[in-house]
Amino acid sequence: MSKNTDRLPWHLTLIVLALLFAVAVIGPVDQLWGLNFLKFYSSTPLFFILPLLVILSLPPVSSWISRTLASLSYHDEGRTGRLIIAGLVISLLVTAAGLLFPSATYLLGDAHLRLNQIADGKLFLPTELIDFLLHAVAYNEIFQPLGYNSYDAYHVISALCGFLFTLGVFRLARYMAPKQLWITFLLTLSSGVLVLFFGYVESYSLLAAMLPHIYLLGLKVIDGQSKIRCYIVLCTLAVLVHVVAAVILVPSVLLLFLVRRHDPARRGKKMTITLMSAIAVVIVVAYILRYFEFGSVSLYLMPWFARADFQHGIFTANHFLNIFNWLYLAALPALFLAPYVLIRERMASFYANRKTLYALWVVIPSLAFVFFFTPQLGGPRDWDLFSLVMFLWTPSMLTLYLSQAGRRLPVQTVPLAVLSLTVTLSFAAVNSNVTTSAERFSEILEVSKFKNLTKEYRLLAITARVQPEIQFREVEFLQRAWQQPPYTFSDSVGVLTDLGLAYLGKGDRQRSYQYIMQGLQLDTLSLGNHQNLVLYLRKYGTRRDVLETARLIERRFRGFAPGMMTAGMTYWEAGDAESGGRCLQRAYELDSEDYYIILGYGRYLLDVGESRSCIEVVSRAIEKNPQSFQAHYITASAYHQLGETERSLEFLTRARNLQRSQSESRLVQALEERLRK
């Protein structure tokens, strides 16, 4: 690989990157959120990893490993069958890892939003058309009929995308550097983008899986081994998968058209200036539109300077810290190679070579995106989008570095690959554990704070409510949500509702009542706080108190279907069947499309013996949610009331297949026993 005289700069660069990693973990430095994942565990792993990096950095060790990898690459170069098997096996291992160690929470990205959209039957999102449609169809046609939820669809598809991604990286490494296949493969595979394939819920896994294949196809077009129309088709498909692909790939498509007509050796610099001018014009026009508040441009373009109400800006320290963290996480090898490539090489040499010109025009538009586009969820939470955009920097930088015939990668890339893999795998490990995932999320909220974080802390509280490992932190997260300025009316009402329910669940009678009443005083039409009051009175009040509250809800929400349903169920459970039926019927008349209102009214009809009407009403719930245990169980019970045993057994069998808890299992067994009598 490199000669001894060239080793010092590589050693210094590696030492700086390794020291930053150590400081981020040991310090710990919260601002280095893209590399400090091991801090969420004990210090034991670090005491193994740092000495390992030191050992691997020793010239005799790194040289021996480099020679070994080079020897393997040399011997495998002509063995196509063996390489295909190796690529498939490694890809299957990555897929298995993604299936076995998925993300344990839905905190990063827009996970909760995406899961709810899929579960609610949404099929199309314009910005991620094919990706969202794929997950929606997979859930509706495969996972839901088998009794799995929307997360399972994302989990499995992300792991399968990991297979395509790994195979693409392997093919790309084999094409770019057949004599340095294995180290090139490890450097590219080690990207933090790999985490997207570990049950990560977002709309990026399919596009990420396509990127190495797209970059490879671009190189083949340059070499005359593929047609440009194939590249255009694949890039168009990528844009339909997610619109962000247009930012990364459209300039490279234009470049490929230009290099077909003009010799880069003579016109490369002019082509680059032309494309740079076009990008500059687009950016200037975009900022003019932003200035005049045209459409939603201001939501996406970063302001030049931070403001009191928005702490993001191009010329702010946190923006450059975000870029560094994204780069370290997604393309550490590019960060390692960039100083050498940009300092030691003349730009003229890049213009004159088709491959290097192509690599350059994969990097430049993505750099513009990273620099000017606003991370709307904050840098750490939007890591997925920006890391995805940065992923191709590694193969691009490798292309630039390897452009000179016979150039070998420095031996220091061996410990670098280990460092990069350590960061990526520790990130996946943090995400796969509920406790560490929640701890890291709560930390990065404060690190990246640039707006009101009420929704984020409420999301953490919701996660704590359903995860036994962190249930004790629910109130803590809600109190943080309550402290978030600026204090808006809707945020205040929502947090008070959550606090009242949280303290009620903990048996804190005084505080739960305090927050419930505070919420009702702030908003007399807050249905959530009325529902909390009902729960409170059932636990600590009298039947009379509950009935009075039901009458209050009926008066205040006469024209609101969910409110009438709440009043009806409150009456019913307090023993006033007549009033309960009246309110439930009113709720159904107001909104006969709401799944929960249909079920509530159906239960009422079943209890009063109107079995035929119950079956007719609940059939609408089955149409809306074919995987509803409750709807099938109620229907089976209604047929049992009618004495139609065969039909009752038919729906009870479906309910048994849909049961997901011990309580549901007991209901099924009880009805089976009644049917046998």
- Asked whether the beta carbons of 268 and 357 are under 8 A apart, the reply is yes
Residue 112 to residue 489: CA distance in whole angstroms: 23
**Predicted pLDDT of residue 625:** 82
Tens-place pLDDT, residues 46-79:
677 778 777 877 778 877 887 777 777 666 666 7
**Predicted pLDDT of residue 437:** 92
- Asked whether the beta carbons of 211 and 140 are under 8 A apart, the reply is no
- Asked whether the beta carbons of 427 and 326 are under 8 A apart, the reply is no
**Predicted pLDDT of residue 5:** 42
Residue 670 to residue 637: CA distance in whole angstroms: 11
Contacts of 655 by beta carbon, 8 Å cutoff, 6+ apart: 629, 632, 633, 636, 664, 668
The separation between CA 312 and the C-alpha centre of its own chain, rounded to angstroms, equals: 22
SS3 540: helix
Tens-place pLDDT, residues 368-390:
999 988 887 788 888 999 999 99
Give the residue from 170, 169, 180 showing the smallest Cα distance to 71. 180
**Predicted pLDDT of residue 350:** 67
Helices (H), 292-412: 297-300, 317-344, 347-351, 354-372, 383-390, 393-401
Contacts of 490 by beta carbon, 8 Å cutoff, 6+ apart: none
Residue 31 to residue 662: CA distance in whole angstroms: 45
For the chain, the average pLDDT equals 87
Among 172-176, 268-272, 315-319, top mean pLDDT goes to 172-176
SS3 644: coil
Q: Look-up: residue for tokens 């019970």?
A: 637
**Is the model more confident about 356 or about 564?**
564
Candidate from 88-92, 112-116, 386-390, 641-645 with smallest mean pLDDT: 112-116
Tens-place pLDDT, residues 79-101:
777 888 888 999 999 999 999 99
- Asked whether the beta carbons of 602 and 611 are under 8 A apart, the reply is no
Q: What angle do CA 75, 80, 82 make, to 5 degrees?
A: 70
* CB neighbourhood size of 226 (10 A): 16
For 451, list phi and psi in degrees, rounded to 5.
Answer: -155, 180
The stretch 536-552 carries a mean pLDDT of: 93
Residue 380 to residue 595: CA distance in whole angstroms: 37
**Predicted pLDDT of residue 417:** 92
Residue 373 to residue 302: CA distance in whole angstroms: 5
Size of the chain, expressed as the number of residues it contains: 677
Contacts of 397 by beta carbon, 8 Å cutoff, 6+ apart: 331, 333, 334, 337, 338, 341, 359, 363
Q: Look-up: residue for tokens 């520790």?
A: 426
Model confidence at 533: pLDDT above 90: yes
Burial of 470 (0-12, 13-18, 19+ CB in 10 A): buried
Q: Look-up: residue for tokens 């459209």?
A: 250
Q: Quick one: tokens of 677? A: 């009598």
Burial of 151 (0-12, 13-18, 19+ CB in 10 A): buried
The separation between CA 76 and the C-alpha centre of its own chain, rounded to angstroms, equals: 37
**Predicted pLDDT of residue 373:** 87
The conformation of residue 140, written as its DSSP 8-state character, comes to I
**Is the model more confident about 1 or about 67?**
67
Query: pLDDT band for position 504 (50/70/90)?
Result: very high
